[in-house]
Homo-oligomer: A and B are copies of this chain.
Amino acid sequence: MDNQTLRVNGQRLWSTLMQMAHIGALPHGGSRRLALSAEDKAGRDLLVSWCQQAGCTVTTDAIGNIFARRPGANPNLAAVATGSHLDTQPEGGKFDGVFGVLAGLEVIRTLNDAALETRAPIDLVVWTNEEGARFSPPLTGSGVFVGKYILEDVYSHPTADGTGTVKDDLARIGYLGNDTPGIRSLNCFIEAHIEQGPILETTGTHIGVVTQVQGIRWFEVLVTGQNAHAGTVPMTMRKDALVAAAQMIVALNALASGEDHATRLTIGALSVTPNSGSTIPGAVRFNIDLRHPSAATLSKLATALRQTAAQVARDRAVETTISEIMNVPPISFDPDILAVLRASTTTLGLTQQDILSGAGHDAMNIASRIPSAMIFIPCRGGVSHNESEYASPQDVTNGADVLLQALLRRAGAF
């Protein structure tokens, strides 16, 4: 049998996705499985039972990362790893994270059906708390695995619902394992994910080969004017913090729109003080989320946005302070793994394009220690972190087929 003609069972994969979506199902088609919640436990338990049925040996490390191993011919070889996360946003969809995990499971099932033994073992990994919706930091499991976070620090973090610490919750749901995170030797890590953006759908491309993860810098801007009565202070005598903030937002949006196509600048969170309809706002606080694949461009834009805000503040007779609260440098994925992904996509006759990840992913953390890369499949309207998130059965199947071909190449089946 020619391994290049091997294909996953798309129907089985789709049905598996829909079964997982029942756990924590929401009224409008989404799922809520917050990390280490009862729903997360139920999702993990279901996956573990599927992996065991598929003949895998399942272990858990001390931060709750799950490793399901399909043995290879040579047990001394480091495992070729794939996976993603099962936890969701509070109003998450059926695909974000879940697709990458269940596509990996489908690869294992397909290899079993074909009775095909790879030289290296294959590890299916579920990383703990990618989303960070119930406790911080996000990407906890992969971050601890690569030593970015200290295990004991993370253990002591409280959960947002106040039910205990991270360690309490790991123990409560039965996923406080014995293995030291990171001790496991991996040959590589390949993560399949929905794009969570509109580019592949817009260009009509089957597979995005993710070459880089954008760097992310977060700034907090405080604009201070003077709160006063809306009826008594003439327009010319005001120090209106909201009008100044609005002018900054328009100018910052124009600044980013004038840069290259990879630039992303978002003001997602904003609060007004005192936020009363009849009071001129005395203060406004907002966040700037700035992303770009080049650290140099990020630095240039960081300088420009500070200048833009300062200029508006002078024009409007208000004060402003800007604090940088996060700086995650850009990550480039491994060229060898990218070559494997491109070749696998070509083998399948699917169209592909290089793409940047604007979002953070576990593979971004793993890449600091282990050769890693990602593929994206299209998702409808670019919508994610939303109950209406959707990827078509064909795109889901295509993504799993690319993963199958890439894992076969890397694990040494031909």
Chain A residues within CB distance 8 Å of chain B: 195-199, 202, 214, 216, 218, 226-237, 240, 242-243, 245-247, 249-250, 253, 256-257, 261, 263-272, 275-281, 287, 289, 291, 357-360, 382-386
Contacts and interface: CB of A to CB of B under 8 A. Distances in A.
Contacts of A247: 246, 250
Contacts of A235: 253, 256-257, 263-265
A195 B237 CA distance: 15
Contacts of A243: 249-250, 253, 267
Nearest to A90: B274
Closest 7 CB pairs of A and B: A231-B358, A197-B232, A230-B266, A246-B249, A246-B246, A277-B287, A232-B358
A384 B275 CA distance: 16
A96 to B, nearest CB: 10
Contacts of A266: 230, 240, 277-280
B249 A277 contact: no
Contacts of A232: 195-199, 264, 357-359, 382, 384
Given A196-B232, A277-B218, A227 B267 contact: no
Given A199-B234, A232-B357, A236-B261, 10 more contacts: A199-B232, A231-B360, A232-B384, A233-B264, A242-B249, A243-B249, A246-B249, A246-B250, A268-B279, A270-B275
Given A235-B257, A253-B235, A270-B242, A229 B265 contact: no
B233 A197 contact: yes
Contacts of A199: 232, 234
A160 to B, nearest CB: 13
Nearest to A249: B246
B277 A269 contact: yes
A336 B359 CA distance: 70
Given A231-B357, A382-B228, A198 B277 contact: no
Contacts of A358: 229-233
B228 A242 contact: no
A292 to B, nearest CB: 10
Contacts of A271: 275
B269 A230 contact: no
Contact of A275 (B236, B269, B275): B269
B277 A382 contact: no
A289 B277 contact: yes
Contacts of A236: 257, 261
A385 B274 CA distance: 11
A198 B246 contact: no
Nearest to A236: B257
A163 B253 CA distance: 47
Contacts of A287: 277
A264 B230 contact: yes
